[in-house]
Amino acid sequence: MVTDKKLKISALELLFIQTAIEVWNDEKIKIGYDFLESGLGIKMITQGNGEKPQKGQRVIVHYTGVLEDGKKFDSSRDRNRPFEFNVGVGEVIKGWDEGVMNLPIGSRAMLMIPADLGYGSRAIGPIPANATLFFDIEVIGVK
């Protein structure tokens, strides 16, 4: 026979386990990323040999963007057309500017972009408010 005391301990243990699993699920996604002071996470897939793009340069990239649940929301690869923008001047979200300027040409990396470096409290199309964004981004070159 199980006593009331045993049930209370089991409930506390269950609560602890559930909490530990939630924390682990939140933290495991960060494994392998190097985090900059801003909170931007960079996980290098392929280290490029070129120079890092400088502020104002026109950069050519391929990318795939996904939400925390893995749902893809955009991809230049799906369109088979690289995306070009002037880096560091606010043409794209802050996380892209900072991330791309930290990737040598030829690099491919995963960027983990917190909401404050993405779209913040605004919902944009399939991207919910306060979303952490993940981008598989490849710096193809500069013009």
Task: Pick the catalytic residue from 42, 83, 93, 113.
Answer: 93
Task: Pick the catalytic residue from 29, 60, 74, 85.
Answer: 74
Question: Does residue 136 have an active-site annotation?
Answer: no
Checking 64-70 for CB contacts under 8 A at 24+ apart, the result is: 64/135, 64/136, 65/133, 65/134, 65/135, 66/133, 66/134, 66/135, 66/136, 67/126, 67/127, 67/128, 67/131, 67/132, 67/133, 67/134, 68/29, 68/131, 68/132, 68/134
* CA dihedral sign, ordered 71, 117, 42, 20: negative
Task: Pick the catalytic residue from 29, 33, 60, 73.
Answer: 73
Question: Does residue 74 have an active-site annotation?
Answer: yes
Question: Does residue 33 have an active-site annotation?
Answer: no
Task: Pick the catalytic residue from 135, 136, 137, 140.
Answer: 135
Task: Pick the catalytic residue from 119, 127, 134, 137.
Answer: 119
Question: Does residue 93 have an active-site annotation?
Answer: yes
Task: Pick the catalytic residue from 63, 127, 137, 140.
Answer: 63
Task: Report, as residue numbers or ranges, the catalytic residues.
Answer: 63, 73-74, 93, 119, 135
